[in-house]
Chains A and B, each alone.
Chain A
Amino acid sequence: MSQTRTETESASSEPNLLPEGWEMVIGLEVHAELATQTKMFSPARNQFGGDPNTNVHPVCLGLPGTLPVVNEKAVEHSIRIGLALNCTVQRCIWARKNYFYPDMPKDYQISQYDKPLNVDGWLDLPGGSRVGIERAHMEEDTGKSTHVGVSGRIHDAGYSLVDYNRAGVPLIEIVTRPEIRGPEQAKEYVEELRSILVTIGASDGKMEEGSLRVDANVSVRPTGADELRTRCEVKNVNSLRSLGRAIIYEARRHVDLYEAGDSPRQETRHWDEEAGRSRPGRSKEEAEDYRYFADPDLVPIDPSAEWIAEIAASIPALPKERRDALIGKGASAEAAAMAVGRQLDALALAAIEAGADADRVLTHVANNLAVDGAQNLDAGHLAELVKMETDGALTATQAKQVLAEMVETGSAPGAVAAAHGFEAMDTGELETLVDQLIADSPEEWERFVAGDDKARHKMQGFFTGQIMKATKGQADGKAVNQLLNQRASR
């Protein structure tokens, strides 16, 4: 099939962004906040925004004596994500990741370490490549500090204010294998993942609100090599655009170092979007000893086969399946992706299945329908409209106008068209009009018949325009062109 490509083909389809002989090796870590009412371990609300320290509770403030209890809904969402990413869902335990940080109320983060919930999955991208998923584990989010100081820079004097509204919000961290080969594939992966998370209702996927955050592990190697070289983790990538830029910057930095006889050191770096560069954070060698151990306040999660099956049954059709359904009906990969991206694929599919022309349906879905409101459009009506169009009963312009009114009023296309007096012009009538016009405009006709492509094109515009004017737009432009060409070739 044309839309399935192998990974290497996909990689080579990326424009060559590195000097000859080098390739990128990228792994992504995506943190997504789960769509729950309450936090991972505490009954405080999981809510974006709000006044500082209003969505807090003794448990998520880490007050002495408090204990965590797992939010069942967060686990359910996490299993749903694991299944959507083709992972094995397994018995898992909670681990404490120990480090001091004022945003983290207990000075350890409850996460999963050697026994995560979801392992060994994959995600097929619209472009045809497949990205391996190493793991998707649950953890809790940290709070947020705001620096208050004269210059607003992090290194000046002044102080910070800590808000724990976000502390303890349930997160899933989805880690790919280092199989991504360029910024375009990385962006495609994040977009597809985001679309899945939204489709299954596990996360709102809003990058701008920080509910979806991406860290990129970047390294480079000689093209075609098997080795994995030293990688740097680039954080603070807040948009897809930043993700692409950060990856290119970081990979080029590595190549420059290698080509200068040096090598990068393993570290966490921060992307500075304004400056267009990454800067070193803390070094991995220094003081990073997280002392993971099983959290003694929590017990293992051992999801039963029944529970997993129940969750699996609740998963709606995923974006890939939905795209494939349209492609199976003759849609191009791009048009299918567009329809699914706009959440109008079900409408389009139903209209096509009702007998409407796929291209015309997808053109309307892509260009002539706003996402809001179009959800309520009746697929049967859309199919009728497209049929009227392909039968020549309506011109493209008329169809667009009728469609807009259908969305507004919910009326059937026939009724709308009749109300506007849009009636298909009889072919004989149109022929008479065209022949009359040719007779009335001999000079223009001569230029149409004898001129070069450019002149012919220009004159075609003239004749079509005149006919449209004469018919108040009711003529079908395509039919006019056909008649003109027919007359010219006689």
Chain B
Amino acid sequence: MPEPREPLTTDDVAKVANLAMLDLSDDELVTFTSQLDAVLDLAGELNQFDVAEVAPTAHPFGLTNVFRPDEPEPDDIADAIREEALAAGPEVEDHQYRVPPALGEAL
């Protein structure tokens, strides 16, 4: 059996929230930490099973080689869909999506 898991800390959750691009208040951080820790306890049940020799499932039925021919969508359909898609943008300028300035190369 694997050794017992270290309990989740608020630092762990703050790091995860950062990766997930979510801001948490201090209160939320505490609440979420205990809730997430309880779910990870549940995951401890997985340790009852020895699956070292079992391959992970990718697709339940082992489908492979699903392809699409290299053919563009007809232009009239593409144009209409594109206009509707752009219309849904929160801020669109010159047919482009406008965002605040980037800070550094990645976020």
Q: Do chains A and B touch in the complex (CB under 8 A)?
A: yes
Binding site for B on A (CB under 8 A): 36-38, 43-45, 51-54, 56-58, 61, 63, 69-75, 91, 93, 99-102, 145-147, 149, 154-164, 268, 270, 281-282, 287, 289, 291, 294, 296, 298-303
Residue of B nearest to A288 (CB): B106
Q: With an 8 A cutoff between CB atoms, is B52 at the interface?
A: no
- Are B73 and A147 within 8 A (Cβ)? no
Select which of A51, A58, A72 is within 8 A of B81 by beta carbon: A58
Chain B: how many interface residues by the 8 Å CB criterion?
37
Query: Measured between alpha carbons, how far is A37 from B75 in the docked complex, in Å?
Result: 13
**Cβ of B101 under 8 Å from chain A:** yes
**Given A44-B72, A70-B66: A160 and B102 interface contact (C-beta under 8 Å):** yes
Q: Is B67 close to A, CB under 8 A?
A: yes
B21 partner residues in chain A, CB cutoff 8 A: 100
Contact flag A270-B105 (CB < 8 Å), given A56-B85, A93-B58, A161-B93: yes
Interface of chain B, main secondary structure: loop
B64 touches A100 (CB 8 A): no
* Binary interface encoding of chain B residues 31-51 relative to chain A, with 1 for a CB under 8 A from any of its CBs, else 0: 000000000000000000000
In Å, the complex CA distance between A147 and B105 comes to 12
Return the contact of B106 from the options A36, A282, A291 (Cβ within 8 A).
Answer: A282
Compute how far the CA of A45 lies from the CA of B71 in the bound complex, rounded to whole angstroms. 9
Nearest Cβ in chain A — how far from B89, in angstroms? 9
Given contacts A71-B70, A287-B19, A58 and B85 within 8 Å (CB-CB): yes
Inter-chain contacts of B67 with A (CB < 8 A): 69-72, 75
Contact (Cβ within 8 A) B82 A54: yes
Report the minimal beta-carbon distance from A383 to chain B, rounded to whole angstroms.
Answer: 41
**Whole-angstrom CA separation of A63 from B89 in the bound complex:** 11
Shortest distance in angstroms between B59's beta carbon and chain A's nearest beta carbon? 5
| Bound-complex Cα distance A298 to B63 (A) | 9
Would you call B25 an interface residue if the criterion is a C-beta within 8 Å of the partner chain's C-beta atoms? no
Report chain A residues within 8 Å CB of B101.
Answer: 147, 149, 154-160
Among A73, A154, A294, A299, point to the contact of B102 (Cβ < 8 A).
A154
Residues of B contacting A298 in the complex (Cβ-Cβ under 8 angstroms): 66
Instruction: Collect the chain B residues with CB atoms within 8 Å of residue A70's CB.
Output: 66-68
Q: Is B86 an interface residue (CB 8 A)?
A: yes
Q: Mark B79-107, 1 if CB is under 8 A from A, else 0.
A: 00110011000000111111111111111
A-B contact pairs, 29 of them (CB 8 A): A36-B70, A38-B70, A44-B78, A52-B95, A54-B95, A57-B81, A69-B67, A69-B68, A70-B67, A70-B68, A72-B67, A72-B68, A74-B70, A93-B58, A99-B107, A100-B106, A101-B107, A161-B97, A161-B98, A161-B99, A162-B96, A162-B97, A163-B96, A281-B104, A289-B19, A298-B66, A299-B58, A300-B59, A301-B65
A37 and B64 within 8 A (CB): no
- The answer to whether B107 and A159 have CB atoms under 8 Å apart is no
User: Are the C-beta atoms of B72 and A38 separated by less than 8 Å?
Assistant: yes
